[in-house]
Structure 1
């Protein structure tokens, strides 16, 4: 909410894209940095470093974030709750659930997919995951960059492309080089529309904008919680190691139902 307010009208999706890069940078830098610190100062050193960093960030927030930005969108409870009646809000939340759930249902099992399906040595898996993180960083920035002007295009193109990538991972990616390329592309496309979806949820929630923001993150988490066990169960079926990718592709493709509906409603 603070980022959207600070960015001003017409830049909400771009602001959320910038915010989303924090998560992407965490996957690229967090694990290596934590490992280096733990090797130098012991495993407790990583936690002490995080505690110091969090304290510094808290001080910066208190000094820099405008007080009126925190109050933006706050109003009477009845008025705020009325915003939850928006059908477009729930379409955006459904898209949050399926797009994140499908990608992470596959990503949860990415190590056995890389090692057993493509024959990539376990020692190289962290490097492949770093490639995923870099792709996610770039994709999140690009999704936010174009999301304000073309929200319908981004929220339709991204899940459609992601579904194809997941199907390719499940069916044709047996060579290490091909699998690595597809995993990087999955990072580039898979979650790059999330910032736009959060922005849409906030926008369509109206007076319930803070709740819309909170519910969108809850929808991402709910998608992961619901779909990951399904993908895991697929490992015990004839699909085997290909199961998580196929399940992920099906779930992500369901995102097209709410996003196409939102695009049609927006055009009308």
Structure 2
């Protein structure tokens, strides 16, 4: 009788649960980015100005930075399946409350609550996806899961914004709440049931201990810097396309769809390469993104070149993300919800910080190409913690090899 392999090969099929989790991320990515296109309707309907309506974006970002680590510890005693279902249920409820409310304050609160649910689902889902895929395919599984976010950019956001133009901003909120219901049943069907409270009580101390890993914090540093540079530049890509490249505003959504397609391809390629050469994959993606952002700034007046670069930058800028999540889980110990939540928070911290810094360059002499130039400079600094990580990993490998060889050498000398 032949034994079954304990880990999946890069060519084996991933469990259905990974795709279910990707579907959940698709819904959550749609709500995160779709709201920006609905702000004028929200402002008019709720009698606030556009700047106030923009707080809906800020509220979600704040919830995604602070919420994941807090919720990871708060839900640690719950089985993973229950945590995922609870996050989806709260996500749906948050959208229902927003859809029926006439109070801007209530809608703001619902966005924060929705962000907490999103962060919880991301953090727990990443751990579950990596676990069910096995160590040989964890980065690929996380790439599929992250692909749900890229697909949201490609399809979910444009469709949600388009629907909002015809039925009002509340329509997409109702739609997302409804689509969450089959996602809940799918998680019930495919997610494994976790062990009981006795084991999770023991795990709480170990969970906190996972954040002491120096290598894990270096990975988080790479995430913050790479994300701040790349998404800081992306946040202001629309004015670059219209004001400098000369594209009609009506074509900008199509360019952003191209960006999403590039991101989808990048996460798939990065996930496949990242299981074999994780640090090399991240280094190539970060370096390429920095160089491409500089080229984007230098060729900003050539519309066709800019469009092509936006698509490629989407691939390199997001291609390393599943690898970085997998590395965070590896150095903290697979199964750590807290470590996964810190990765989620790091991505959103980088996004918020990068966008704020990039905004300051618009009033400089660089104008609309300022975010791309600054983004290139910030992104390349991610190579510093990455180099330190590579050095520490190599040092630990050499130490382990030495400790294994030394007893053999002494034994031979004694004999």
Name the TM-score class by shorter chain: over 0.9
8 Å Cα contact 1:135/1:188 also seen in 2: yes
Structure 2 residue runs without a partner (length 5+)? 1-126, 396-415
* Rounded Cα–Cα distance in structure 2 between residues aligned with 1:169 and 1:183: 8
Task: Say if 2:151 is the partner of 1:25.
Answer: yes
Runs of 4+ that moved beyond 6 A = none
How far did residue 40 of structure 1 move?
Answer: 6.2
Instruction: Write out per-residue CA displacement over residues 205-227 of structure 1, whole angstroms, 9 at most, x where no aligned residue.
Output: 12772111000010011111212
Other-structure match for 2:336: 209
* CA deviation after TM superposition for structure 1 residue 263, in Å: 2.2
Q: CA deviation at 1:136?
A: 0.2
| In the alignment, structure 1 residue 238 sits paired with structure 2 residue 391 | no
Partner of 2:129: 3
Give the drift of 1:163: 0.1
> Normalized against structure 2, the TM-score is what?
0.61
Cα 1:256–1:63 change in 2 (3 A) is same
- Give the Cα–Cα distance (whole angstroms) in 2 for the partners of residues 193 and 207 of structure 1: 19
Tell me the alpha carbon deviations over residues 2-36 of structure 1, each in whole angstroms, 9 at most, x when there is no partner: 10011012211111111000000000001232245
Paired residue for 2:184? 58
Q: What does residue 205 of structure 2 align with? A: 78
Structure with bigger gyration radius: 2
Q: Answer yes or no: is the 8 Å Cα contact 1:14–1:147 preserved in 2.
A: yes
After TM superposition, the score normalised by the length of structure 1 is 0.94
- 1:169 aligns with 296
| Structure 1 residue 173, shift from structure 2 partner | 2.8
Question: How far does residue 52 in structure 1 lie from its aligned partner after superposition?
Answer: 1.2
Q: Is the CA contact 1:205–1:211 (under 8 Å) kept in the aligned structure 2? A: no
Gaps of 5+ in 1: none
Provide the residue aligned with 2:251 in structure 1.
Answer: 124
2:280: which partner in 1?
153
Aligned positions, number: 267
Whether the 8 Å CA contact 2:128–2:335 is kept in 1: the answer is: no
Higher deviation after alignment, 34-43 or 124-133: 34-43
Aligned match of 1:49 in 175, 182, 187?
175
Query: Structure 1 CA distance, aligned partners of 2:189 and 2:266?
Result: 31
Q: CA separation in 1, counterparts of 2:269 and 2:308?
A: 19
8 Å contact from structure 2 (residues 131, 334) kept in 1? no
Q: Alpha-carbon deviation of 1:70?
A: 10
Cα contact 1:163–1:250 (8 A) shared by 2:
yes
CA distance in 2 between counterparts of 1:35 and 1:224 reads: 22
Return the offset for 1:41: 5.0
Q: Secondary structure at the match of 1:237?
A: coil
